[in-house]
Amino acid sequence: MRTAKICLAGAAAAAMVGFLAAPAAAAPTDTTDTTFEVLAGTLDIVAPATADLGDGAPGGVITGQLGVVTVTDSRGATDASWVASVTASVFQTGGGSPPETVLPEEIDYWSGPETATTGNGTFTAGQATAGNAQPLSSVTPLTAFTHSGGTGGNTASWNPTLEVNVPLDSIAGIYTGTVTHSVA
């Protein structure tokens, strides 16, 4: 009986060694569930801090470019539409008492075509040609540029032109005012 137990124990040990020594069976493929997040950003507009349009005589027209204006849309929206608009303050010179002024309505704005765009959707200039120039206002925003449709992020840049219709009764001096671009 003792011999049978030893033989049985030996056979069990031999089977265990054979089991442990056998190569492992590997799966031919395996998967990893992976995630990442696209963050919602902002809708921003950047315009030049200063611009000098040049000079001209009373009753004349002063024409100059404002500098590149850029809208950056990183909202990651399913509808990436936006409208950029522009208004202006009254332009004043310190040469008189009270100061002399040129009203925003005496200044025409022409966005011109885009200088650069990225993303999908439709980009449209508010005033694509000089013939489409429109007067600025301190109250009613003028559409400068639009983007419709598209998804995700996009950018648009343009270099608007201002045409100052200098009033005939204007006095000599440097006139200062503010042109404000906004986007929504």
- Mind giving me the DSSP string for the chain? -HHHHHHHHHHHHHHHHHHHHSPPPPPS---------PPP--EEEE--S--------TTSEEEEE---EEEEEEEEESS--EEEEEEE--EEETTSSSPEEE-GGGEEEE--SEEEEESSSEEEESS-SGGG-EE--SSSPEEEEEEES--EEEEEEE--EEEEE--TTPPSS--B--EEEEE-
Q: Where residue 26 falls among pLDDT bands split at 50, 70, 90? A: confident
Is residue 7 included in any domain, yes or no? no
Is residue 25 included in any domain, yes or no? no
Is residue 135 included in any domain, yes or no? yes
CATH at 106: 2.60.40
**pLDDT, average across residues 108-126:** 98
Question: pLDDT tens across 165-176, in order?
Answer: 999 999 999 999
Is residue 20 included in any domain, yes or no? no
At 98 the pLDDT is 79
Is residue 179 included in any domain, yes or no? yes
Q: What is the pTM of this model?
A: 0.81
Which residue range(s) make up the domain with 111?
A: 43-183
What value does the mean pLDDT of the chain take? Answer: 90
Lowest average pLDDT, out of 4-13, 26-35, 38-47, 130-139, goes to 4-13
Is residue 90 included in any domain, yes or no? yes
Q: Where residue 27 falls among pLDDT bands split at 50, 70, 90? A: confident
Is residue 82 included in any domain, yes or no? yes
Is residue 79 included in any domain, yes or no? yes
Q: Where residue 14 falls among pLDDT bands split at 50, 70, 90? A: low
Please tell me the total count of domains within the chain: 1
Q: Where residue 10 falls among pLDDT bands split at 50, 70, 90? A: low
